[in-house]
A and B are shown apart, each in its own frame.
Chain A
Amino acid sequence: MSWLDYFRKSSPGSANVAKERLAIIVAREGRSQTKASYLPQLRQDILQVLAKYEKIDLDQVTVNVESQGEYQVLELNVVLSDPANVRKMGNSSRHAPFFSEVKSNAFGAR
């Protein structure tokens, strides 16, 4: 909290939140011809596999699509809330990141 903060932007703003939320919705409900149409099915399958081994709360699952240069990265974050695991990990939650690279034209050529 230096005095320089006074001149910085007050808050990061909500536009980024909006973009992240939309990125996954639009990809999920996206047009089959221009986007990876298997995304919704992939997400469903992953969830089903996870559900076999762990009790998962759907609210604790976040799915993100980000562009990184030539790639789009699908990031799936599942928070496992088993109290035994929490103690073992020494953390309030355990993240199981899942990365899958989707071709850059998944969002359609511009």
Chain B
Amino acid sequence: MGYRTVAIDFDVGLRNLDLVMGCERRVVYDLINVIRGEATLRQAAIKDKRLDNLYILPASQTRDKDALSRVGVENVIEGLKKAGFEYIICDSPAGIEHGACMAMYYADHAFVVTNAEVSSVRDSDRILGLLDAKTHRAEQGLERVKTHLLLTRYAPSRVVKGEMLSHKDVIELLGIDFIGAIPESPAVLQSSNAGVPIILDQQTDAAQAYMDVVHRFLGEDRPQRFLDPPKRGFFSRMFGGADAPIAAAG
């Protein structure tokens, strides 16, 4: 999209954003170094080799997560804003620990990424509660953090069979805006194996779904895709194996 963007990994101790982005060998300084004044933002931010305007700020792999201070995080975010970044993506660790609280604290928007699975949906509900209560916006009485529901590993064929919660179910349960569903795709593992973001491989349905989500976030009205099982021809239905829509009586 061409926006100046930086992604910060807040999972101190379990750093992984560098790995999935394929820049793990170029990490010298990390977020904690910047917070402690041991390195500048310019030194710590790693420029992505594929996209000109994308930078990654890795988490520390060795330090304790308590090293993340609220003031420190604020300084980093202000510094990045001054450096001209238009979008600052804070990659939150799973759970509701300190790292997650710091990642969400200064947020304007929050993507709640969930699977259509009971534990994931319940945890999302919990996080939504924290987003409404434990953020800078909540504490200052400002407008609430805008939340977006992003469903991943969605399998429409299983939804049709009643084996998986549908996107409508999850929307109803969580009661927030739905920004899109990413279909379950083997390409996601392949791209993380290679350290290439899936969205760059626009041949795959998962990448197209992510691109739709980005466009929707930027205000474009894109119809939802990938919510229904792919249509199958007569022959694949007859001989197509486990996902064939004709279910045997049990």
Interface residues in chain A, defined as those with a beta carbon under 8 Å from any beta carbon in chain B = 5-16, 18-19, 21-23, 25-26, 29-35, 67, 107-110
Contacts and interface: CB of A to CB of B under 8 A. Distances in A.
A22 B118 contact: yes
15 contacts: A6-B248, A8-B249, A14-B162, A14-B163, A15-B169, A19-B173, A21-B118, A26-B125, A26-B173, A26-B174, A31-B129, A108-B175, A109-B175, A110-B171, A110-B177
Contacts of B118: 18, 21-22
Contacts of A5: 249
Contacts of B110: none
A108 B176 contact: yes
Contacts, number: 76
Contact of B129 (A10, A22, A30): A30
Contacts of A30: 125, 129
Interface of B: 117-118, 121-122, 125-126, 128-129, 132, 159, 161-166, 169, 171-177, 246-250
Nearest to A35: B175
A25 B175 CA distance: 14
**Sorted from nearest, which 7 A-B pairs have the closest CB atoms?**
A13-B162, A108-B175, A10-B250, A31-B129, A10-B247, A107-B175, A26-B125
A13 B122 CA distance: 20
Nearest to A19: B169
Given A22-B122, A25-B122, A107-B175, 8 more contacts: A6-B248, A7-B246, A18-B117, A18-B165, A23-B173, A26-B125, A31-B129, A34-B132
B132 A67 contact: no
Nearest to A26: B125
A11 B173 CA distance: 23
Contacts of B166: 15
A32 B133 CA distance: 10
Contacts of A7: 246, 249
